[in-house]
Amino acid sequence: MQLGLIGLGKMGGNMATRLRRAGHEVVGFDHHPEKRDVDSLEALVGALAAPRVVWVMVPAGEPTRATIRELRDLLGEGDVVIDGGNSKYTDDQVNADLLAERGIGYLDCGVSGGVWGLENGYALMVGGSAEDVEKVRPVFDDLKPPSPHDERGEPMPGIGFVHAGPVGAGHYAKMVHNGIEYALMQAYGEGYELLAAVDLVEDVPGVIASWTQGTVIRSWLLDLLVKALQEDPRLDRIRGYAEDSGEGRWTVMEAIDNAVPMPTIAASLFARFSSRQEDSPTMKAVAALRNQFGGHAVHAIEAGGSTELEKPA
């Protein structure tokens, strides 16, 4: 089928390639001239036959909202717009209502797979009406991973794709997915640090690689940690600084609003905040308090470095 794809970065560009390999006609637009097939959104819409399907893969927030506002004035009744970025789920109903004024359908699609999705396929979590989902079904089928087969040789349904619910459900599911991802990465990172901190374990990368088969903690994330340690066994080339793209924060905020205990995911989010501090103000306060109540040594910062000081008698 035909598809207009807006945003041909790492994810969008690979998605376009995967779909073209599967026989779909993809018309791509990007702000970088060397990546795009057409020079404007108007030209992209003009290159598609009605009813049109346009997939938006641009940064969440105002870039996505502005793109959807522009598409509203270019598309018509029966067309469908898909937001495949990491938009906050509360944006989805606003976008859907805006497009509905012109009879344009809207789907929100959480996409997971990263740069590996080109070869492995993407996990797709979709929100919207069943009618609009079916209009895009051929694209979803070829973006997701191939379905494994059961003992009778029949394809197992539902692998890599879910119609999660009405508008907003897809991005909500992806938000929770990313919150879980935060916690998994934090646990692997903490385990790595403990192994590396002791002299007893002589082959840390080997231990972690041994976990990738036959253990209950094996996962694709663990495979990627093994790959990273193969390239840099002590991770000497990487600074311990981790950004967060929003979904972890939104997950914790939703947990608070719904009174759902979420200590592990919350702790992994706060750990990312800690990673950005050269010298933690919290730990400065802790050191000062220990010094005040117990006379414990503190390290004073001087022009030439740090010096251990004792509390005066």
Q: Identify which of 152, 120, 173 has the alpha carbon closest to the alpha carbon of residue 14.
A: 120
Centre a 10 Å sphere on the Cβ of residue 237 and count the other Cβ atoms it contains: 7
- Where are the strands (E) in 142-260, listed by range? 161-165
Choice among 35, 70, 181, 254 that is catalytic: 181
Q: Strand order of the sheet with strand 161-165?
A: 25-29, 2-6, 53-56, 80-83, 105-112, 123-127, 161-165
Contact partners, residue 212, CB within 8 Å, separation at least 6? 218, 222, 223, 226
Do 275 and 242 touch, CB atoms closer than 8 A? yes
Written as six digits, the tokens of 59 are: 């940064």
Choice among 88, 135, 144, 174 that is catalytic: 174
Known catalytic residue at 174: yes
Q: Identify which of 142, 105, 148 has the alpha carbon closest to the alpha carbon of residue 16.
A: 142
Do 267 and 186 touch, CB atoms closer than 8 A? yes
Active site residues: 174, 181
